[in-house]
Structure 1
Amino acid sequence: MNKSIVTGVVLCGLMVLTSWTAQAVKPTTRLSDLHQKIVLADVIPTSFGGWTEDVNQVSAVINPQVDAEIKKIYAQTLSRTYVNKEGERIMLSIAYGTDQRDNLAVHYPEGCYGAQGFNVSPVHYESMSSRTGEIPATRLVASLNNRVEPITYWIVVGEKAVRNSWELKKARLSYALDGLIPDATLIRVSSINADSAVAYRLQQGFVDEMLAAVSPTMRAHFSGHAH
């Protein structure tokens, strides 16, 4: 049998097993109740490193339908635009949900931007360096008319950073087997720049300074290195 077919069958089987096990195991304890309460507006400073919040800017244009869907999924959201002394801007969006069971799942940026009419490039994965270790980041470019927006995001399920829905399901199952309902945090940074390489370098520096500015506990949480 063709190797790729065998691989596909195995992966399909694993996904079915994961789904069945998730239904069979009924976790009862929220992980969010076991650690320090997260209040995004308090734990993320409005100024850090060379960055200050630009209160005259919004971080993203969200249509009412998308905004309503996001509010169903997440307990908290934070959207800010930061500016440095060179006038460069970074848009930060963090969404935090306390319940990552099947009825509440991550709203991926590529779907969010696509729903707003943006052309969205294929995603690619990169290991992004941080002060607490490597972060498995996802990158893509969204464009609409003359607006070109390179985007970096990553997801933390409980205390584990994941890249995609498959890794998210595995992490969720791992917690379920321990009787835990994991929380989830999606961190997105983006900037308006037709040169994605330049944009990603700027975003890398921003993320590093942001992580340096939060408490050690929150730094570990946001980077997925709390375990």
Structure 2
Amino acid sequence: MKLITRGLLLFVLMLTATLLAVLMRPTFNIADEQSMSSLTDFIPQQFGDWQEVSTGLMQVGLTTNTADKGDDYPYDQVLSRTYKNSDNQTVMLTIAWGGKQRQEVKIHRPELCYAAQGFEIKKLKDTDFGIASTGNKVVTGKDMLAFNPKYIEAVSYWIRIGDIYSGNAWQTRLYIFKTGLEGVIPDGVLVRASSIINDEKNAESAYQLNKRFLQDLVKNVDSAKGRSFLIK
């Protein structure tokens, strides 16, 4: 009798857990509401003092997998360009968007991607981009210094998940969990600007160049919808 009771209790617990998992599964996808257009539709090739150029520079990939696209590839759209200004300064831009950010598949943090592709991460620090989001939040992210045998790259980036700017992986996981309880699947975007330097003493000036570039970009995005996409 006790075995039957225990078995029945276990069955009820398993059934309850299954029902809760189904009921709590997110069903509303922010990306569906946004009707996301192509990144090339609103990211200009020329803005302010910046003009897209062809340089042959290879940008670091967006995944921790050495293959171009693996099971961990979380992006629906990617835009990679190189821009130059009248002072002959060059900035590489990468924007990567994923419509469904989930615990198991979500935007990869650049420090992990760079390390996976042979870079040594020497510096990683919080930064403020001097940009106010459309929701009147301060856009925050990271400055990173990455070394490989051929060059040094000064990288500045932010990651937007839903309506927050994620500072670390745990913050991302907690936000995805909370929105999941509300039945919402958030979208996410990585905005990354980087400059190649020959001496790490030039890192701070390169970070400032990256930030001025991104500030100019946000000001000149072709639509309010595009700006909201980058800095919700």
Given the two structures, how large is their TM-score scaled by the length of structure 1? 0.81
Gaps of 5+ in 2: 1-19
Fraction of identical pairs, as percent: 31
Map 1:96-175; keep pairs closer than 5 Å: 96-132=97-133, 134-175=138-179
Which residue does 1:7 correspond to in 2? none
Which residue does 1:177 correspond to in 2? 181
Which residue, out of 216, 222, 225, partners 2:230? 222
Matched, 1:47 2:54: no
Matched, 1:211 2:218: yes
- RMSD over aligned Cα, in angstroms? 2.4
Structure 1 stretches of 4+ moved >4 Å: 21-24, 61-64
Q: CA deviation at 1:211?
A: 0.1
Q: In structure 1, what is the Cα distance between the partners aligned to 2:216 and 2:21?
A: 38
CA 1:122/1:61 → structure 2, altered by over 3 Å: closer, same or farther?
A: closer
Q: In structure 2, what is the Cα distance between the partners aligned to 1:176 and 1:71?
A: 20
CA 1:22/1:187 → structure 2, altered by over 3 Å: closer, same or farther?
A: farther
Per-residue CA deviations over 1:19-47 (Å, capped at 9, x if unaligned) read xx999831012110112413112221111
The structure with the larger Rg is 2
- DSSP-derived class of the 2:155 partner: strand
One-letter amino acid of the structure 1 residue matched with residue 98 of structure 2: G
CA 1:142/1:102 → structure 2, altered by over 3 Å: closer, same or farther?
A: same
Q: In structure 2, what is the Cα distance between the partners aligned to 1:206 and 1:155?
A: 17
Q: CA deviation at 1:134?
A: 2.1
Q: CA deviation at 1:165?
A: 0.8
Q: In structure 2, what is the Cα distance between the partners aligned to 1:22 and 1:44?
A: 39
Q: In structure 2, what is the Cα distance between the partners aligned to 1:22 and 1:135?
A: 34
Gaps of 5+ in 1: 1-20
Q: CA deviation at 1:61?
A: 4.5
User: How many aligned residue pairs are there?
Assistant: 204
Q: Are the counterparts in 1 of residues 66 and 117 from structure 2 also a CA contact under 8 Å?
A: no
One-letter amino acid of the structure 2 residue matched with residue 183 of structure 1: D
Q: CA deviation at 1:174?
A: 2.7
Q: CA deviation at 1:123?
A: 1.7
